[in-house]
Amino acid sequence: MIEGLREISFSQEHQFVSLHGIVRPYDVQPDNTVSSSNVAGAQIQVVSAGTLTDAQKKGWLLKLNDKVNPF
């Protein structure tokens, strides 16, 4: 099992990226790296938080308008 986590921050925005998967021991290179094609069952999750993410979310009035008038 492998797990990798990374936090990226820019312009008051924070992104958290996580990778989970399974690799065979002989797929690990001498410099402790693994090719992405050798990761079985890879799960990648990206979570954003900050002012840019908040600005992209619709408010309740716009959501209601979309339901009433979808086009």
Other residues' Cβ atoms within 10 Å of the Cβ of residue 23: 16
57: which residues sit within 8 A by CB, 6+ positions away?
Answer: none
Q: Which amino acid is at 4?
A: G
| DSSP codes, 12-68 | TEEEEEEEEEE--GGGS-TTS---GGG-EEEEEEEEEEEHHHHHHSPPHHHHHHHHH
Task: Identify the pLDDT of residue 40.
Answer: 96
pTM, two decimal places: 0.60
Q: Which residues of the chain have pLDDT under 50?
A: none
